[in-house]
Amino acid sequence: MQITGTGALVTGGASGLGAATVRRLVGAGAQVVIADLNAQTGEALAAELGENAHFVSTDVTSEDSLRAAVQTAAGLGNGLRIVVNCAGIAIAEKVLGKDAPHDLNRFAKVLQVNVVGIFNAIRLSSDAMQHNEPDAEGERAIVLTASVAAFDGQIGQAAYSASKAGVVGMTLPIARELARYGIRVMTIAPGIFDTPMLAGLPESARASLGQQVPFPPRLGRPEEYAALVQSIVENTMLNGETIRLDGAFRMAPR
Ligand SMILES: NC(=O)c1ccc[n+]([C@@H]2O[C@H](COP(=O)([O-])OP(=O)(O)OC[C@H]3O[C@@H](n4cnc5c(N)ncnc54)[C@H](O)[C@@H]3O)[C@@H](O)[C@H]2O)c1
């Protein structure tokens, strides 16, 4: 699929994996909407990248907010053809804490952002995509972001792992359903990447995590995630699958 001249939407595009994806897609000639809660970093990135990047203040869990971002992206270039879902949150909390069981609202919040938010983006953007003038192969691509925690979640990751397994689980049925519109759906399950999500950890903990990766023995670089997004978008045969991007890393129980 051609990226040049295409409208694209990146949720969570103001930071980390999303920001690297925005840079990559703009570099490849797309016109990109950065849909993120964080206006400060989102606007700064759009200003840095120039006329092919646009920030739209967005909460992926809100119907109206996401609809506005999708409408902006649909008006760019030859219409919305690429959607990359990077908005997400992580918490660490045990089912049985020292003083109380897992807070139910915090569990629900992670599901709301990571599963409901991604589904909101898929349904609204695929609705916009189905009205595009098809290109040569009538093709569009939606990329979801899960995590290796979907498969080998650690103690304390009940909410996060459940949410990311939800993303993996919706990949195939939605790819099957949207196939008739030429919309592909693929999921990337990253290992541990060096983004602001990990910034709370001390440098020694980050280095130790990196050393646990068989090869390369380091944290992933956001540009490596963005490079896989581009490969997925460009390779028409990739559809309905989850790709681990983790250097053969498998998380230990704790
Ligand atoms: N960094 C890692 O090691 C890693 C590993 C596996 C999976 N992931 C997943 O990759 C995705 C990106 O993570 P990251 O490391 O770049 O994190 P990050 O915190 O750097 O970026 C996440 C972005 O999402 C935005 N966001 C959060 N809630 C939102 C909402 N409701 N609406 C709109 N935007 C919202 C934040 O403002 C932020 O800009 C997440 O889904 C995360 O779970 C990250």
Q: Return the ligand 1 atom nearest residue 60 CA.
A: 32
Q: Per DSSP, what are the bridge partners of residue 93?
A: 157
Q: Specify whether 160 is catalytic.
A: yes
H or E element: which one contains 188? Answer: strand 183-190
Could you tell me if the CB of 163 is within 6 A of ligand 1? Answer: no
Structural domain spans, the chain: 7-245
Ligand 1 pocket test: pick from 195, 201, 213, 249 the residue with the most ligand atoms within 8 Å of its Cβ. 195
pLDDT in tens, 145-160: 999 999 999 999 999 9
pLDDT in tens, 78-125: 999 999 999 999 999 999 999 999 999 999 999 999 999 999 999 999
Contact 230, 3 (CB under 8 A): yes
Contact 243, 151 (CB under 8 A): no
Work out the pLDDT band at 199, boundaries 50, 70, 90.
confident
Protein residue closest via CA to atom 16 of ligand 1: 16
Residue 178, classed as helix, strand or coil, is helix
Share of the chain above pLDDT 70, in %: 98
Fold of 7-245: Rossmann fold (3.40.50)
Q: What is the mean pLDDT of residues 30-59?
A: 98
d(CA 224, CA 27): 15
79 token code pair: 């219409």
- In this prediction, residue 134 carries a pLDDT of 67
HEC secondary structure over 100-137: CECCHHHHHHHHHHHHHHHHHHHHHHHHHHCCCCCCCC
Of these residues, 107, 160, 225, 249, which one is catalytic? 160
Q: What is the mean pLDDT of residues 160-186?
A: 97
Whether 137 has a pLDDT exceeding 80, the answer reads no
Could you tell me if the CB of 145 is within 6 A of ligand 1? Answer: yes
Whether 133 has a pLDDT exceeding 90, the answer reads no
Whether 221 has a pLDDT exceeding 90, the answer reads yes
